[in-house]
Amino acid sequence: MFAAENGLKGDPRLEAISAAIRVVPNFPKNGIMFQDITTLLLDHKAFKHTVDIFVDRYKDMQISVVAGVEARGFMFGPSIALAIGAKFVPLRKPGKLPGKVISESYELEYGHDRLEMHVDAVEPRERVIIIDDLVATGGTLSAAISLMESQGAVVVECACVIGLPEVKGQHKLKGKPLYVLVEPSGIDGFC
């Protein structure tokens, strides 16, 4: 669900967020319209709007865990977690976390990857939101959902700053709702 479809239609904050995202043509490869959120982070008002909208959505949902997908989910997740009184759990690429981890593999358009988290990061029945910057195929979010559920946590929703109007990977999200703030610019191919 897009924020504009959920009571925020015409909200100037969404326009500011969208305007703050730089589009880089043909990066990292030809035909891709890369959605660069680093420019959003440089615009403190747009960055605050982004966090505020997510906080407003989740503050009364009894969320105890905000799980952020490496690496761009780390830029939004901790701020949201602090504001709603939840812990932040980083979901990392292989070999980045010390100690005992669990992992989940997933397919990319161009190969395979894996997410890992500490085995003791979440408890059974904890309520989780998973945050990332962008959703395209849904593979990464699906792996994140599997990691959380393997430990007995309850994934309430996935949240992304950017997403396609008809997310290709919605079926991969295991029936979990998806909340997206804005659509990408240059939709033909994006990353």
Any idea which residues carry the catalytic annotation? 72, 109
Phi, psi of 144 (to 5 degrees): -65, -40
Strands of the chain (E only): list them: 22-25, 33-36, 65-69, 87-91, 101-108, 111-118, 127-135, 154-163, 178-182
What tokens does 79 get?
């701020």
Spatial separation of the C-alpha atoms in residues 160 and 170, rounded to whole Å: 13
